[in-house]
A and B are shown apart, each in its own frame.
Chain A
Amino acid sequence: MLSLRGVSKSFGQTQAVRNVDLAFAPRTTTVLIGASGCGKSTLLRLALGLVAPDQGSVELDGEGVDARSAPALRRRMGYVIQDGGLFPHLDARSNVGLMARHLRWEAERTEQRVLELSRLTRFPETALDRFPVQLSGGQRQRVGLMRALLLDPEVLLLDEPLAALDPLVRAELQDALREIFRALGKTVVLVTHDLAEAAFFGDRVVLLRDGRVEQSGTIRDLVQAPADEYVRRFVRAHRTFQVNGAGAGREA
C-alpha cells in the first residue's frame, strides 16, 4: 500500500503541500482533483521520490521512499504524464522497452511483453516502429501507459494523462483506461482537474486546495454532502457536468 504521512513540501516561498495524510488501498482507483497549483501533481512526484518531502514520510508497503530506496521502488510504480512523456529519439517499441533494456532482459522476452501490452492498450502493432512525432496524441498516451506497465507495477500514477486530447479520443481512452484498471487490479492514483473524469474513474475522490485535503470520499459525498463552501463551489463550477450529468447527480 502506498501512503503519505504528514507530508509537507515547499518550493521557495510557495507551500505546495501542507501536512497531507493519504493512504491508497490496493486495487482501488483514487482521483486527486483540484484547481491549478493545488499540489496534486506534487503529491505524485513525492510518491515517486522525484522530490523529497520537507516533513513527513512516503511509504510503499512499509518501505520509506527516499533518495536511496527510490530507484528500486520506482520500478514498482508506473508513471504516466500528459502527452505520454515519450522520449522523442526512441520509437514506440524502444520507449516501452527502455527499462527492459536497462535490466538486460532477453530480446524475445521484451518483444513478447511489448506485444502483450499493445494488445491490452489496443495500440496497433504496426505503429510500434514509429517515433513519437509520427503518432497521434491518443497513440502517444497509449505508449506512455505501456511504458508504465512494462514491469507490471503494483501502483499506477497518472498525472492528467488525458488533458491534451480532443473530446472523442479522450472519451475513448477513458473507457480503455477504466477497463485496464479493472482488469489488472492496480492501485491507481489519477490526477485531473475535471470533475466528470473524476466521477468516471474514482472509487474515491480527493479534493485538494492550497496543498491541503479539503474533502475525501466518493463522488456522491462531494456532490451531496460537500464539506464546506469551497467544495460546493468547486462542484457547481463544473457546469457541463451539471447540465449533461443532471441524471447522474440525481441517481447519486
Chain B
Amino acid sequence: MKRERCGLRRWRVAAALAIWECILASPGDAAHAATPVFIGSKQFTESVVLGELATALVRASGGSAQHRSQLGGTQVLWQALLQGEIDLYPEYTGTLEQEILKGDGARGEAALRTALASHGVLMSRPLGFNDTYALGMKASRARALGIRSISDLRRHPELRFGFTNEFMDRADGWPGLRARYALPQADVRGLEHDLAYRGLDADTLDVTDLYSTDADIAYYHLQILEDDQHYFPVYDAVWLMRADLKARAPAAVTALTRLEGKSDAGAMAAMNARAKLQRVPEARVAADFLSATLGVTVGSQEPGRAERILHRTEEHLALVTVSLGAALCVALPLGIVAARRPRLGAVLLAGTGVLQTIPSLALLVFMIPFLGIGGPPAVAALFLYSLLPIVRNTHAGLTGIPAPLRESAEALGLSPRARLWHVELPLASPSILAGVKTSAVINVGTATLGAIIGAGGYGQPILTGIRLDNVALILEGAVPAALLAVAVQALFAGAERWVVPLGLRLTHRD
C-alpha cells in the first residue's frame, strides 16, 4: 500500500517535471534519448566537487550524466534520492548514523547497508577520507586564550559562536555538543558556512563549525580544536545510490566504484582548495584529479559566460512567466470574488496574506515532497507568492470605485457581468495593473532563490558565488536579475498604455 502511494507520487512528480522540461526544452535536447544518471550535490564545495567526480566517471564510462549541483541540505538530497529526482549523491557515514537513519540506530558500515537497503538505497565503500565536523577558531586567538580543545571553551563563556544552520539543528550538531561538553556560551548564531569564515577573519565571530577537509582552514590560519571527549562520529565519504540504478546503468555504477578508497583527506582538501581558493571550476578540478589518479580523461565542457547567462535567463524567465501567468489567472477571479462577497473576501485576503509570511526558503522546501526538486516546486512557490499583490489590488480597485458610479451602472440596467466587464474592471485597471507589476518585480527577485532547490535561473551563479566567495560570479547572477526587474517595470509602464483606458489616464481638459 505504501509502495503504491509512493509510485503515484513519483508519477505525479514525473508529470510535473515532464511539463517543465517541455517548457524549457530546446530543439537540441531531443537528441539525448537515453535518460541520464542524475547526480545531486549539497550546498558546499566538497559535495559539488564529489558530484563533478561522479558526473565525470559516469560520462567516462560512456553513460549520460547530469549534475544537479548544490541542491541544498541533507534532507533535500535524501528526499530527492528516495523520490528518484536524483539517482545518487555523495554522503557521509556520520550523517547517515546521526541524522538520516537516526531512528534505525544503525552503527557501522554493515548495519548502515542493511538499514539503507530497506529504503531501496545502496551505499558504496568509503571513498577514502573522513570529513568530520570540527570546531575551529583563529589560531592567533586560540593561542592568546590558551584554547586547544573543545573542553577549554568552558572557561570562556563570552566567546561568540557562529554555526551553519544545519549544524545548529542536527542532533549530532550543536545541541548534542553543548550537552556533552556543558558549554556555557549564549551568543550562538546560525549563518552560512562561507560567511562564518569571513566572520572569523573579521573578528566578529570567535568559533565556528568546520569540516576537517575544508580548504579554508589553512587559508584563514584556523586552529582545529581537539575533540577531547570524542563527540563527533566518523564521517567517511560514500556514494549513496538508488538500488534500481544498478539495473538501469550498470556501467555507471561500476565506474563509480573506481573512486572507492582512492581519495584521501589530503587529496580532498587539495581539491577543495583549488576549487575554492584558486577558483578553478569544480568540473576541471574533478577532471584533473581523475586523469592524475585513475588515468581517466574527461572532456570537460565549460560554457562561456555569454552562453551561461543566456541559459540562466531562459530558466529565470520560464520561472517568472509561468508562475506569474498562473497567479494572474487565479488571483484576478479571487480578487473579484473578494470584492463581491465581503465576508469571503476577508478570508481570502487573510489567506493570501498568510502565504506571504511563509519564509521563501521554507516554502521552497515544503514543496519538495509534493513536486520534487527543480522547476515545478519553484514555480509553485513563486505562484503562491504572486497571489497576494494581485488579489489585494484587484479587491482594492473594485471596492474603491465611487458608489455613485457603481449605482449608475446598475441603474442603467446592465447585468452584473456586463457591469464588471464594461465598467468595474476598466475602472479598477490601474490598481490591478499596479498589483501585477508588484508581483512581477517581487517574483523576479524571489526566483533567484529557486536555485537552492535546483530550479536554476540567476540564483545559480549567485549561490555558487557566495559559496566560492567569488564576487564576479555573484554579479553574474545579480546584475541580470536587477536588469530583468527594471525591464519588467518598463514593460508594465508600456502595458499601461493598452490596459488602462485613455479616459483614466487624462488628468485635465485638453
Partners in one complex: yes
Chain A residues engaging chain B, CB cutoff 8 angstroms? 45, 48, 50, 71-72, 74-75, 77, 79, 81-82, 85-91, 98-99, 101-102, 131-135, 147, 151
Please list the 10 inter-chain residue pairs (A to B) with the smallest Cβ-Cβ separation, ordered nearest first: A89-B501, A85-B408, A131-B503, A74-B413, A79-B411, A75-B413, A89-B503, A89-B426, A134-B509, A89-B504
Interchain Cβ contacts under 8 Å between A and B, 6 examples: A75-B413, A85-B407, A87-B405, A87-B409, A133-B503, A133-B506
- Residues A71 and B501 in contact in the complex (CB < 8 Å), given A81-B408, A85-B405: no
A89 to B506, CA, bound (A): 9
Contact between A74 and B404 (Cβ–Cβ < 8 Å)?
no
Which of the listed residues B407, B409, B411 has the most CB atoms from chain A within 10 Å of its own CB?
B411
Contact between B411 and A90 (Cβ–Cβ < 8 Å)?
no
Contact between A99 and B412 (Cβ–Cβ < 8 Å)?
yes
**Chain B residues near A90 (CB, 8 Å)?**
501, 503
A98 to B404, CA, bound (A): 17
Within 8 A of A (CB), among B37-55: none
Q: Which residue of B lies closest to A150 (CB)?
A: B412
Which of the listed residues A77, A79, A82, A87 has the most CB atoms from chain B within 10 Å of its own CB?
A87
A-B contact count (CB 8 A): 74
Contact between B506 and A87 (Cβ–Cβ < 8 Å)?
no
A3 to B193, CA, bound (A): 81
**Chain B residues near A50 (CB, 8 Å)?**
407, 410-411
A79 to B501, CA, bound (A): 25
Q: Which residue of B lies closest to A134 (CB)?
A: B509
Min distance, Cβ B505 to any Cβ of chain A, angstroms: 9
Contact between B414 and A102 (Cβ–Cβ < 8 Å)?
yes
Which one of B405, B413, B503, B506 lies within 8 Å of A99 (CB-CB)? B413
Contact between B408 and A87 (Cβ–Cβ < 8 Å)?
yes
Q: Which residue of A lies closest to B507 (CB)?
A: A133
Within 8 A of A (CB), among B18-37: none
Within 8 A of A (CB), among B374-409: 404-405, 407-409
Min distance, Cβ A60 to any Cβ of chain B, angstroms: 13
Which one of A48, A72, A88, A131 lies within 8 Å of B411 (CB-CB)? A48
A151 to B414, CA, bound (A): 13
A74 to B414, CA, bound (A): 9
Contact between B407 and A74 (Cβ–Cβ < 8 Å)?
no
Which of the listed residues A79, A91, A147 has the most CB atoms from chain B within 10 Å of its own CB?
A79
A25 to B264, CA, bound (A): 105
Which of the listed residues B408, B412, B501, B507 has the most CB atoms from chain A within 10 Å of its own CB?
B412
A251 to B154, CA, bound (A): 109
Contact between B506 and A134 (Cβ–Cβ < 8 Å)?
yes
**Chain B residues near A82 (CB, 8 Å)?**
404
B362 contacts A by Cβ under 8 Å: no
**Chain A residues near B504 (CB, 8 Å)?**
88-89
**Chain A residues near B501 (CB, 8 Å)?**
89-90
Contact between A87 and B413 (Cβ–Cβ < 8 Å)?
no
A147 to B405, CA, bound (A): 13
Min distance, Cβ B237 to any Cβ of chain A, angstroms: 66
**Chain A residues near B423 (CB, 8 Å)?**
87
Contact between A99 and B426 (Cβ–Cβ < 8 Å)?
no
Contact between B503 and A102 (Cβ–Cβ < 8 Å)?
no
- Residues A134 and B510 in contact in the complex (CB < 8 Å), given A85-B405, A91-B503: yes
Contact between B427 and A98 (Cβ–Cβ < 8 Å)?
no
**Chain B residues near A101 (CB, 8 Å)?**
422
**Chain A residues near B422 (CB, 8 Å)?**
98, 101-102
**Chain B residues near A89 (CB, 8 Å)?**
426-427, 429, 501-504
Contacts A81-B407, A87-B426, A89-B426 given; 9 further ones with Cβ under 8 A? A72-B413, A74-B410, A85-B404, A87-B427, A89-B504, A98-B414, A102-B418, A133-B508, A147-B412
**Chain B residues near A102 (CB, 8 Å)?**
414-415, 418, 422
Min distance, Cβ A207 to any Cβ of chain B, angstroms: 25
**Chain A residues near B503 (CB, 8 Å)?**
87-91, 131-133
A88 to B428, CA, bound (A): 11
**Chain B residues near A77 (CB, 8 Å)?**
411
**Chain A residues near B409 (CB, 8 Å)?**
87
A88 to B426, CA, bound (A): 10
**Chain B residues near A45 (CB, 8 Å)?**
407
Q: Which residue of B lies closest to A87 (CB)?
A: B423
Contact between B413 and A131 (Cβ–Cβ < 8 Å)?
no
Min distance, Cβ B201 to any Cβ of chain A, angstroms: 61
Q: Which residue of B lies closest to A101 (CB)?
A: B422
**Chain A residues near B404 (CB, 8 Å)?**
81-82, 85
Query: 1/0 contact trace for B312-348 toward A, CB 8 Å?
Result: 0000000000000000000000000000000000000
**Chain A residues near B412 (CB, 8 Å)?**
74-75, 79, 98-99, 147
**Chain B residues near A79 (CB, 8 Å)?**
408, 411-412
Within 8 A of A (CB), among B66-98: none
Min distance, Cβ B298 to any Cβ of chain A, angstroms: 64
**Chain B residues near A71 (CB, 8 Å)?**
413, 415
Min distance, Cβ B495 to any Cβ of chain A, angstroms: 16
A13 to B353, CA, bound (A): 34
Min distance, Cβ A139 to any Cβ of chain B, angstroms: 11
A134 to B414, CA, bound (A): 25
Which of the listed residues B404, B407, B408, B507 has the most CB atoms from chain A within 10 Å of its own CB?
B408
**Chain A residues near B507 (CB, 8 Å)?**
133
Min distance, Cβ A42 to any Cβ of chain B, angstroms: 12
Q: Which residue of B lies closest to A84 (CB)?
A: B408
Within 8 A of A (CB), among B464-489: none
**Chain B residues near A98 (CB, 8 Å)?**
412, 414, 422
Min distance, Cβ A77 to any Cβ of chain B, angstroms: 8
Q: Which residue of B lies closest to A73 (CB)?
A: B413
**Chain A residues near B508 (CB, 8 Å)?**
133
Q: Which residue of B lies closest to A76 (CB)?
A: B413
**Chain B residues near A135 (CB, 8 Å)?**
509
Min distance, Cβ A15 to any Cβ of chain B, angstroms: 20
Min distance, Cβ B497 to any Cβ of chain A, angstroms: 14
Contact between A88 and B427 (Cβ–Cβ < 8 Å)?
yes
Min distance, Cβ B411 to any Cβ of chain A, angstroms: 4
Within 8 A of A (CB), among B411-452: 411-415, 418, 422-423, 426-427, 429
Q: Which residue of B lies closest to A45 (CB)?
A: B407
**Chain B residues near A147 (CB, 8 Å)?**
412
